[in-house]
Structure formats: C-alpha cells, structure tokens
A and B are shown apart, each in its own frame.
Chain A
C-alpha cells in the first residue's frame, strides 16, 4: 500500500469502500482524518474532468426526476405551475345539445300540437343514441387506444352497421388513434331532429342532423380538431332506435407549430 498522503493512497481509498468503512472507527480513521485535513492545506489543484461528468450526470438525474414528477401521471403534475396532469383514462362526458325538433305528420287530419310531445320524446331518445355513438366513437379511451369501436357500431341496424364498420375511419377517431393521440376531449355538439310520425301519431323515423367537435392532443405536441357533420336516420327496431342510414362528413384540422420552431408529423389517426 502506498504511504499516506500520496496519490496512490487516495486512489486506493476511493476504489475500496469496504476498506474505508472498516477504517472509519478504528485508529486508521484518525489517520484518514489527518490526511483530509492536510489536503485542505495543499495547493489548490485543477478540478478533474471526471468531476464535471459526475455533476452533469447528477443534474441529468435530478432534472429527469423533476420532469417525471411534474409531467404526465407524476405526483406533482398539475401542482407545479405551468404543468398539467394528463387526464386519467376515463371516458369524458358528452351530450349533444338539441337545437330544434320538428314533427312531420303522415296523415292530414289531427292536430300538430298532439304530435309535439311524442316527437320531442323521440328526439330525446335518438339524441341519446347519437351521444353513445360519438362517445364510443371518439371519446372512450378504451376504444380509441385500441382502435376497436364495437360499442359504437351497436347503435346501427345490421345492414347499416356493416357499412359503418367499413367507414370506421370517418365515423370514429380512427384505427390508428391510439398511436397518434394522448388524449381526446369533447367540444361542442348540436343536433336538429325531424320526426316522422305514423298514422297513429307515434314516432316512426327520425332524421338527426348533427355537428360534433372534439379536440385531440397529439403525441407530437400538435392538436387535432375533429369535425364531424352529418345526418342519421333512425328507426324504431324491436323497441330500440337504430341507425338505418347515415351520411357523415369529416373535416379535421391540425393545429401545427410553424415548421421553423419544431417539426411534427401528420397524425395517422385521421380519416383517410
């Protein structure tokens, strides 16, 4: 072992922590203390590059820890100003706002006012069906993260459901939504309904004109505004309102930072 106070001694101490612990309370601990004291009186030496590396690594760890704590699902997310907590994977609540309901009679006789109440009831019921369609198609994270929208297609009758599945990328957030978005939150939604009454004054068909907006937070930092407009025909089938025909247009937009500030990709969950 090199003599105390020589570079070789210090190197041996640093690289053998077991030896240092064993020395701490013994006679050699006092010697070590003296060495450290002597070192304070030694001429200042230039810090070695490896110290920079250690500091940098420590800083990196610290920053990383802070980042993890304040972002995403970290415990400090939303607590530290300027940070936001990612929403938990719960389905946001969404209901279309009913703007207008009209009853269309199929018999010349009878008062229009008698049709108003059943028409409004039908409008309420069919709007609930469309709430389900858009919630399951765009907002239920179980669906959009997996790209599977079976629960959305349940509102269609069998013939319409077949076509709806084929047009899933237009009727939902899309098969690739899970890879594209971190979050999807509802915006505004409005519906106007026309209710065709049968000869007995009972609702038979409903044409619902809808407009729907939602906001997707993309994984690349951009945001996508989902815009869906269209009309759905619903018919009472075995006691349930089912979509029997539809015509829907998607016109999504991405809010993207200027190319000079950051790059971004086009979300793949957009309608094709």
Chain B
C-alpha cells in the first residue's frame, strides 16, 4: 500500500509539473481581457539648479521713456528699482525710487534721478544709485515702453491683481479692481498710470513692483505645468531688454527665481515728499531712507522696523 501511495503521489506530481511546465512555456499573457491593470508606482523626481551664496545680489531695473528713434539707454529712466535677492533665505525685496527724486548725480551735481541716464546711460545711473544708497549693484536690466509691451505679449499676457480702480486718459489705464489677465498694452498702462493714484509717482513705483511680482507668480505657475515655459520667459525677456547679465546668468537667475515665493516679496518705495526745486516739481527723499539702504545693503532683506519706515504709498487708495 505504501508503494502504491508513493506511486500515486509521483504520478500526481508528474501531472502537476507537466501542467505547470507547458503552461508557462507558452507566451505570457500581457494584457488579456480579464487582466487587472494596477498602477504600481507614481513617482516624481526633479532638480533645478539654484544660485547660492552668503552675499546678497542687487539688480538695478530701469524703465526708459525713450521714444522710437532714441536709444533706450539715452531716455529718461522713469522706472527705477533695486531688486535685492537673499539667496540663503530665498527672499526678494523690491525698493522703488520716484523718478523725480532730487539727488546728486556724480559729476553733474543735483538733479532729478531720472536724468542720469540721458547724461551717462546705465553706468551713470548705477553710479548715482550707488552713491545715494551705498549699495553695490551687481547687474542692471533696462527696458522700454515697447519692450514691456512686447515682452508681456510674448509670454501670452500677465495676470495682475489690480488693487484699486484706475482710470487715466494719459496712460490709457482703465481698470476695475480685481484679478485680471492683461495684454502688453494694458500692463504698460497699469505700470505708467500716476494720475489716478493719490500718491502719484510713489504709488506708480509700487505698481511697477506689483508687475514684477505678478510676473514671478506667473512664471512659477506656468513652470509647474510646463517647465519649458522658462525658456519662453527668458527669450521674451532677453529680446526686450538691455542687460549686463550674460545669458547663462539670466538662466541661473530664472531657475533660482522659481524658489522665490511671490507672496513673500517685499515691495517698497523710498519715503519722501514732493516739493519744488526752482521751477521743477521734485521729490525729496526722506532722511530715514538711509536706514532702509543700510539695512538692505546688509543682507538684501529689510527688517520690520525698516519696512515700517516706508508704508505703502497706495494704502489709502480705494
């Protein structure tokens, strides 16, 4: 009986092995009708290079009022901002200067700050700002009316949160408050309008900072959906500006900018008051601005105390 059991067991084993063997020798089912398809792993990997360093980076951004036929670096710089970047903390501070600020232009005496460029181009403007603030500027970026319009159109428009109603026949600004997607013409109008602002040129400078923040927010949003948009932004920017940055540096800044939270960008305008200098209407920069300059020069960021020295010029605008 024992032998018979062994024999039966062997026969059963033989049949099982044979069945398995011939079964597995055939082609494996790849996607039979009754197969289960399971998603076994959704994973993500990414890397973008990022500038690092202990020293802040200061970039002077200039907007020229040069009309067609005039070189943009010989127009009046009606938009002037220092963009300070703290790479360690991924923080950005924008500090605007009213175009009519009465300052010393090295080699030319006191004059409106925007007149430095027609007299000596971006280099003299840089010298003027450095002398005023004590901040060593690393790069400059200069654009024009047409440059702003074209660059914005090249990226497909810009979504801007218009903070208050703006209706101005000079700049052609005609906006109700709220988030809206603007084309190049409208963005330029938004950035130029000062007549419908209570704080005039101070408020306009702050609005220009708002445009920069809106561009940063949109870049990050679009990059998240389609990283190749970064090249579209860089191309649109480079075609419409004059800059001391190389293309590699622009790309490095562009990659680095992706880590800046637009909601944490500080947007200030140097405090001051309007007055007359001879027959000219000018802005006298407040003496407290020197505290802002030295704070910013330190690490590219401003303390709450410094920020309090320069309240938003449009805070009372409705």
Provided the pairs A104-B235, A105-B235, A253-B39 are in contact, do residues A207 and B47 lie with their beta carbons within 8 angstroms? Answer: no
CB distance from A191 to the nearest CB of B (A): 11
By the criterion CB–CB under 8 Å, are B35 and A255 in contact?
yes
- With beta carbons under 8 angstroms apart, the residue of B17, B37, B231 that contacts A104 is B231
Q: Mark A214-238, 1 if CB is under 8 A from B, else 0.
A: 0101000111100000110101000
Q: Mark A20-60, 1 if CB is under 8 A from B, else 0.
A: 00000000000000000000000000001111110011011
By the criterion CB–CB under 8 Å, are B44 and A249 in contact?
yes
- Which A residues touch B5, using CB under 8 A? 49
Is A240 at the interface (CB under 8 A from chain B)? no
By the criterion CB–CB under 8 Å, are B227 and A247 in contact?
yes
Is B136 at the interface (CB under 8 A from chain A)? no
CB distance from A209 to the nearest CB of B (A): 6
Is A250 at the interface (CB under 8 A from chain B)? yes
Known contacts A244-B49, A252-B39, then 4 further A-B pairs from the complex at CB < 8 Å, ordered by chain A residue: A52-B4, A56-B7, A167-B47, A207-B231
Provided the pairs A63-B18, A159-B49, A205-B251 are in contact, do residues A106 and B234 lie with their beta carbons within 8 angstroms? Answer: yes
By the criterion CB–CB under 8 Å, are A106 and B238 in contact?
yes
- Which B residues touch A70, using CB under 8 A? 25
By the criterion CB–CB under 8 Å, are A223 and B30 in contact?
yes
**Which partner residue on chain B sits nearest A261 by CB separation?**
B34
- Which A residues touch B228, using CB under 8 A? 194, 207, 209, 231
Interface hit among B8-16, B185-193, B200-208, B210-218: B8-16
Provided the pairs A49-B7, A56-B13, A252-B40 are in contact, do residues A204 and B35 lie with their beta carbons within 8 angstroms? Answer: no
CB<8 Å pairs between A and B, sample of 26: A49-B3, A50-B7, A60-B10, A67-B25, A105-B239, A108-B240, A167-B45, A170-B43, A196-B235, A207-B228, A207-B230, A209-B226, A221-B28, A245-B46, A245-B227, A246-B46, A246-B47, A249-B42, A254-B38, A256-B35, A257-B35, A257-B36, A259-B36, A270-B40, A271-B42, A272-B43
**Which partner residue on chain A sits nearest B223 by CB separation?**
A247
CB distance from A180 to the nearest CB of B (A): 11
- Which A residues touch B179, using CB under 8 A? none
- With beta carbons under 8 angstroms apart, the residue of A57, A163, A233 that contacts B10 is A57
By the criterion CB–CB under 8 Å, are A256 and B234 in contact?
no
By the criterion CB–CB under 8 Å, are A198 and B35 in contact?
no
- Which B residues touch A164, using CB under 8 A? 45, 47
Q: Mark A177-213, 1 if CB is under 8 A from B, else 0.
A: 0000000000000000010101100001101010000
Is A88 at the interface (CB under 8 A from chain B)? no
CB distance from A56 to the nearest CB of B (A): 4
- Which B residues touch A53, using CB under 8 A? 3, 6-7, 10
**Which partner residue on chain A sits nearest B10 by CB separation?**
A56
CB distance from A68 to the nearest CB of B (A): 9
By the criterion CB–CB under 8 Å, are B227 and A207 in contact?
yes
- Which B residues touch A251, using CB under 8 A? 39, 41-42
Residues of A whose CB lies within 8 Å of any CB of B are 48-53, 56-57, 59-60, 63-64, 66-67, 70-71, 82-84, 104-108, 159-160, 163-164, 167, 169-171, 194, 196, 198-199, 204-205, 207, 209, 215, 217, 221-224, 230-231, 233, 235, 244-259, 261, 266-267, 270-272
Which 7 A-B residue pairs are closest in the complex by CB-CB distance?
A52-B7, A167-B45, A49-B3, A271-B43, A56-B10, A207-B228, A106-B238
- With beta carbons under 8 angstroms apart, the residue of A59, A171, A266 that contacts B45 is A171
**Which partner residue on chain A sits nearest B43 by CB separation?**
A271
Task: Please report the C-alpha to C-alpha distance between residue A169 and residue B248 in the assembled complex, in whole angstroms.
Answer: 30
Is B32 at the interface (CB under 8 A from chain A)? yes
Task: Please report the C-alpha to C-alpha distance between residue A21 and residue B14 in the assembled complex, in whole angstroms.
Answer: 33
By the criterion CB–CB under 8 Å, are B49 and A160 in contact?
yes
Provided the pairs A50-B7, A258-B34 are in contact, do residues A250 and B234 lie with their beta carbons within 8 angstroms? Answer: no
Provided the pairs A57-B10, A196-B231 are in contact, do residues A63 and B17 lie with their beta carbons within 8 angstroms? Answer: yes
By the criterion CB–CB under 8 Å, are B44 and A248 in contact?
yes
CB distance from A227 to the nearest CB of B (A): 9
Is B48 at the interface (CB under 8 A from chain A)? yes
